[in-house]
Structure 1
């Protein structure tokens, strides 16, 4: 028996060594134009023999576009690493000659004048996106074959397809991640392919190729649009409003192939039922395609259609159909799995045939999809018209830059926004011109407005594939409320960040409040220049202007610059950071004088962060992006592999983000000694649990063990899943006099939480500067048991250790680069830790 098993394995293994050619992938009932270059002629190998690198993938797309009159290639910018983000428009040559008119007619279909358009003669539009996660490469490798097929395929069926469909073809939605993973897989490939799961090829090093340059999951950025790759895609999406958008992914090696629809109970309520009906109809085309090649698959389980920040769900509030594909991953070239040897070519073929079945569905369901899109927007207009006169105002009277960035997102989604006609107060909050905007509800993209501004606490299901809430004004710490459109002034056509200025030259001191979003950037420039700066720990008034907690003061005398040089430099800082710096001629104040000990001297932050195995790349990437991109503050990223050789005394701040596995015990010893000698350690989310288990902190946690009662074996997965807090928004009261809350104007804040770590409050109230209220849930899902634990707990603590201290955040203050509202909490820990 053992000999037979070995023989069968060798037979399969031998088969896995064989290189496949295009015949393995392509339909054989189609002829191909010999003048169109095949992928191998450009990339240097058969598709699936090696992992295509991004540069070769794009080179092939360029050559195809030059060789075929069916393809036009657009330049949409570059990634953080400078890689191109092209889009191929693929359709019949006749359509290309009329492409702008086709696009305009397609958009007109979604507007009030589109009711008279004849959809019998209009092509559908399909956006096909591949490998938004770089280490899910079968999509982008399948894009090679799909592009060739669409360029070279000949015959009446191909002509019919191209005449009736416009294809927006995105061959690599994550160029930087794809390049990173291709390098890993190729450099570890053996001549004799080895399917052993323990083989190094299938265990890529940290951070892996899933993410982009700053380690973001870009399939969570369709709604926030914070990354260059996303901004290119969203611009293309709104320019065309595709009827179908496909998103090609991979999942665990022991799985098969998934296509939507997902879990029926996990569809966002804003998504029309017709959308799901059409998704099921499209699914039948995938069923036939996968049946024809004998591939196993599943649908309507595991995955959902809830969070609109994902590519497969974002189209659902834009009159389109989003389709998620998930292929069991070979994570290399061939790997053992529960379903036999899983080869890279096999995964590519499944992605390719479902790319074609999508186009077949788009062709056959053309009129139905176009009519649905027209009907979607007609119903949306009707709903919006009922809210005529209704609008949302949002703003922060102390922070124009943060308000600008929320408005910027709305503009990228083609939502009309207006200035306020004049300053006004509503429900106790002040809305100022230049610091506030008004969003009328009666407009085309009102569904996106609903998705971005709604709060929701009741759900049909207690399981979520991703976050359950993402209310944008709460994410930005904005005041917002419903108002009448009569409050609106002129429409904003060109958004501009506020112009910074120095109000007057001073020979005494300069002051700026800490409220504006870019004040951490300004302060770093000042300290980096060697200029002495102080922070006020009290409120005061000078020359008839009030200044809040956290105001920064720069004395003019005893600086390395003379008064003229200092004024000139601060003018640069103000303009670059979009803040106002006020010159004052006296230190005499109502409240605290400028020479008081209530002004503490600041030191320049020298920050380092642990990276590598055991650290969650997402959280670490969010910190890196915040400091590097937003605030121009250097951050030293130290890998755990050489951490013990690093002299930590160079740094006054060390950041330990969320961990996802084992951290070496020597890290504990070194960090503990560094803190005791005066360092400040900032620990976030479940890094706190690591500190607790290693006895570096004595913080008390509330128990989260929940005993199952009346739960069957078949229900246990749902039972445990319901206890996961996947991402929701909660209200906490804050003490604005505490340095961690400097720069906040309200007495409460909305926090994003996706952990079940509940810290007990301190018995001394002044040691609880941020504390969850007794009714903390604002939006999203949390189980009743966990909600009880959350009430009155604290998301922030400070523990002193020797000469240093450990700062604890249970929540993510920098979530996915769009949680602008709590970035200041994190920066306050960096700048003001010595005063806490």
Structure 2
């Protein structure tokens, strides 16, 4: 007995001895709170904590595109850390996501803290170090009580590449002394800024869609843990007071009372801490909980209490003078964050039982008590379901495929009507009766209820419309035999193939064409449907013929190896078609390999450039030269045949515009998106005009003048709400197609465009209106009353022929945030199929 007691005290002495060596960030890091910490320095500090404290454990969960580590740190009592895997399994088992529950470990609350999703909001990572220190600090007895029943998962930097881009820039331009005056360059960040990741994507909008590698790796880990509380730590404009919950309206109708109640409790608790220091703050303003792909909403729809913390700091550099004359420093910013975030952990630990009960009720009860109008969603068999299935897998949403035929009736997304249909083998089925019931409904619910039109982001994202598939929402779950996967038969390629056929029907088609072009293989594309025995080549379908490629050694094996990622590829044994569309006739165009240049730099929209860059590099893997706008005069355009102008304001000189015009006439192709269209709007020789006639222009000007006269008598207080009647924060708009044009190939019978601004043009004259909004169009999401009627008979995507070349006008951005799958195919059409 004495030996046991002695051993215990010896162990305790050793633990305390090691524990006492833990240094604070200020002791460990030079200039902490005065200058931004390099990313490797932050990693070194967390390494120090894990080496010196038994209360923290490290896990690397991935790497960024620039090969920086992505890390999380588990902080809790030594006992809890020793049993992390059991605690994790218990948590999942309680909500039906694991069968490995152990009775040995009591219920533990899981609180996940995320910092610096936006790289230039660097006070997040700075504060993460203080938060971690205070949680393991041996002299802070209070935090040790919290950790008895709480596991803290701390991600100090979601976006290391953006953080490092900003940090390196700030360090490079910093003078010895701070310069709080706004005219100093440390308050004027250069393009594209550190907010975004390597591909200039906004990771805070990517949680649900997981287009980016950082998000994919993080969400995989998140879904292995499923925390009850998630805090997303941000910064906003430096002059803004701190924001913490409760969140603003609109709040999604699926959010439950326990989530709102904890927001309110937390708000009161943080306000007490801030009041004691006379710090300014606000709650319930601007930051709503609706769009599902944020760091607060994604956790919320997965049962957690999700929240955003916002500290004024963007543009502050190391120190800035605010409008009230007070200088805001890095130390101020990180201290405010640390105080708020530690209060989250404290408040959550105090309400662990309430939060666990609420979380489990949210996840378990929603399977039986459906929150929305529908219990089952059916997506008709379509090659684009490959990408939809991938998205569902990434989010742990259960689905299956029909393995029998069954009559059913449901809401048709395309027609917006109840309609009878037949469930057939290989249709994709998502049932609400599953652990991810609420999140599945958020993704598929056709009519999301918006209780306030002042939304912070897009207001509709219905997946069937985003993916361009025929979808149905069923009020009752229909019994039908299902299977977990579609069986694929292994193809046997004969010795003598006349041509390989690659259907043009999803992003993989474009990936295959990309590979073929890069291997200098000649490819043809069908303009009309062609029938070769049992093989039907739809418009856009690709043919790789032996006749076009006589120098390829072992033709069958070589081509099969390149196209095998497209599992629905096939082959034909003859060029003779049964409907007079022979391979050697006019129906099959020989495609020209694009030589692409993409402009970047000052004036170009950062994320819009990033979407185009990511599409080229990752979505289809095709070479692209990226040229800064400032270096345009050094560019020999005639070395390229395709110029991509992402959304932005391009200040080309008259000579530069003339250079582009001559290049187009000689066979060049411009793909211009959103604001880039102003380069061609109303210009001589181009068809782009906002108005169909001079009478329409005069009528619009008269209407605007009359509106301005009326507004003289209106209240200032309602000005913001009057403005939204003219705006579209993000809605889905029905478009009709000119189905004979290559830019419409593979899109389906209609195209639903995600429209994120009020830019609109009447149907163009002397150009091809390929994708256009009809009169009395259907829509999903919020559209202001005034702009809604103006979209009738407007063009969304058009092709303007000019000499031997063309300009493709993209009024909407089909690559927006990388998740509009049918938009990826539309852009592929513009890149590869349109001359």
- For the criterion TM > 0.5, the same-fold answer is yes
SS at 2:294 equivalent: coil
Tell me, yes or no, if the aligned pair for 1:543 and 1:584 is still in contact at 8 Å.
Answer: no
Q: Which residue of 2 aligns with 1:8?
A: none
Q: Which residue of 1 aligns with 2:524?
A: 534
Whether 1:82 aligns to 2:82 is no
Tell me, yes or no, if the aligned pair for 2:76 and 2:147 is still in contact at 8 Å.
Answer: yes
Distance of aligned partners of 1:455 and 1:254 in 2 relative to their CA distance in 1, 3 Å threshold: same
Whole-Å Cα distance in 2 between the matches of residues 302 and 516 of structure 1? 37
Distance of aligned partners of 1:117 and 1:532 in 2 relative to their CA distance in 1, 3 Å threshold: closer
Whether 1:345 aligns to 2:331 is yes
RMSD value, Cα: 2.9
1:326-382 deviation line (CA, Å, top 9, x unaligned): 111153101122132111111111111111111111122222222222332343133
Q: Which residue of 1 aligns with 2:356?
A: 370
Distance of aligned partners of 1:374 and 1:353 in 2 relative to their CA distance in 1, 3 Å threshold: same
Deviation, structure 1 residue 544: 3.1
Whether 1:171 aligns to 2:162 is no
Tell me, yes or no, if the aligned pair for 1:511 and 1:582 is still in contact at 8 Å.
Answer: yes
Deviation, structure 1 residue 147: 1.4
Whole-Å Cα distance in 1 between the matches of residues 358 and 406 of structure 2? 42
Deviation, structure 1 residue 522: 1.4
The equivalences for 1:86-101 within 5 A come to 86-101=71-86
Tell me, yes or no, if the aligned pair for 2:497 and 2:571 is still in contact at 8 Å.
Answer: no
Whether 1:683 aligns to 2:672 is yes
The equivalences for 1:521-670 within 5 A come to 521-557=511-547, 559-562=549-552, 565-659=554-648, 667-670=656-659
1:308-328 deviation line (CA, Å, top 9, x unaligned): 211112222222111111111
Tell me, yes or no, if the aligned pair for 2:301 and 2:439 is still in contact at 8 Å.
Answer: yes
**TM-score of the superposition, structure 1-length normalised?**
0.89
1:250-282 deviation line (CA, Å, top 9, x unaligned): 11122121112222x311122124422220111
Distance of aligned partners of 1:531 and 1:117 in 2 relative to their CA distance in 1, 3 Å threshold: closer
Whole-Å Cα distance in 1 between the matches of residues 50 and 449 of structure 2? 50
Q: Which residue of 1 aligns with 2:466?
A: 475
Tell me, yes or no, if the aligned pair for 1:614 and 1:659 is still in contact at 8 Å.
Answer: yes
Whole-Å Cα distance in 1 between the matches of residues 206 and 51 of structure 2? 32
Whole-Å Cα distance in 2 between the matches of residues 409 and 731 of structure 1? 23
Tell me, yes or no, if the aligned pair for 1:725 and 1:781 is still in contact at 8 Å.
Answer: yes
SS at 2:30 equivalent: coil
Whether 1:517 aligns to 2:501 is no
SS at 1:209 equivalent: coil
Unpaired stretches in structure 1, ≥5 consecutive residues: 1-30
Whether 1:310 aligns to 2:294 is yes
SS at 1:768 equivalent: strand
SS at 1:609 equivalent: strand
Tell me, yes or no, if the aligned pair for 2:208 and 2:292 is still in contact at 8 Å.
Answer: yes
The equivalences for 1:651-800 within 5 A come to 651-659=640-648, 667-692=656-681, 697-702=686-691, 703=700, 705=704, 707=708, 709=711, 711-744=714-747, 746-762=748-764, 767-800=768-801
Whether 1:410 aligns to 2:396 is no
Structure 1 stretches of 4+ moved >4 Å: 111-114, 116-121, 384-388, 423-434, 498-503, 660-667, 693-696, 702-710
Whole-Å Cα distance in 1 between the matches of residues 204 and 729 of structure 2? 16
Deviation, structure 1 residue 113: 11
Distance of aligned partners of 1:379 and 1:525 in 2 relative to their CA distance in 1, 3 Å threshold: closer
Whole-Å Cα distance in 2 between the matches of residues 817 and 540 of structure 1? 32
SS at 2:63 equivalent: coil
Deviation, structure 1 residue 513: 2.2
Distance of aligned partners of 1:604 and 1:428 in 2 relative to their CA distance in 1, 3 Å threshold: farther
Distance of aligned partners of 1:499 and 1:527 in 2 relative to their CA distance in 1, 3 Å threshold: farther
Deviation, structure 1 residue 120: 13
Whole-Å Cα distance in 2 between the matches of residues 284 and 217 of structure 1? 31
The one of 206, 219, 222 aligned to 1:221: 206
Q: Which residue of 1 aligns with 2:369?
A: 383
Whole-Å Cα distance in 2 between the matches of residues 701 and 502 of structure 1? 54
SS at 1:159 equivalent: helix
SS at 2:61 equivalent: coil
Whole-Å Cα distance in 2 between the matches of residues 357 and 627 of structure 1? 44
Distance of aligned partners of 1:511 and 1:266 in 2 relative to their CA distance in 1, 3 Å threshold: same
Deviation, structure 1 residue 500: 8.4
Q: Which residue of 1 aligns with 2:415?
A: none
Deviation, structure 1 residue 395: 4.1
Distance of aligned partners of 1:508 and 1:157 in 2 relative to their CA distance in 1, 3 Å threshold: closer
The one of 508, 511, 519 aligned to 2:498: 508
Whether 1:301 aligns to 2:285 is yes
The one of 61, 86, 91 aligned to 1:106: 91
Tell me, yes or no, if the aligned pair for 1:504 and 1:582 is still in contact at 8 Å.
Answer: no
Whole-Å Cα distance in 1 between the matches of residues 602 and 406 of structure 2? 52
The one of 172, 185, 210 aligned to 1:200: 185
Tell me, yes or no, if the aligned pair for 1:416 and 1:491 is still in contact at 8 Å.
Answer: no
Whole-Å Cα distance in 1 between the matches of residues 495 and 157 of structure 2? 52
Whole-Å Cα distance in 1 between the matches of residues 372 and 307 of structure 2? 31
Distance of aligned partners of 1:213 and 1:307 in 2 relative to their CA distance in 1, 3 Å threshold: same
Aligned length: 791
SS at 2:209 equivalent: coil
Distance of aligned partners of 1:670 and 1:280 in 2 relative to their CA distance in 1, 3 Å threshold: farther
Whole-Å Cα distance in 2 between the matches of residues 760 and 610 of structure 1? 28
Tell me, yes or no, if the aligned pair for 1:88 and 1:170 is still in contact at 8 Å.
Answer: yes
Deviation, structure 1 residue 52: 1.3
Whole-Å Cα distance in 2 between the matches of residues 313 and 482 of structure 1? 23
The equivalences for 1:818-829 within 5 A come to 818-829=819-830
Deviation, structure 1 residue 458: 5.7
The equivalences for 1:208-287 within 5 A come to 208-263=193-248, 265-287=249-271
Distance of aligned partners of 1:479 and 1:586 in 2 relative to their CA distance in 1, 3 Å threshold: same
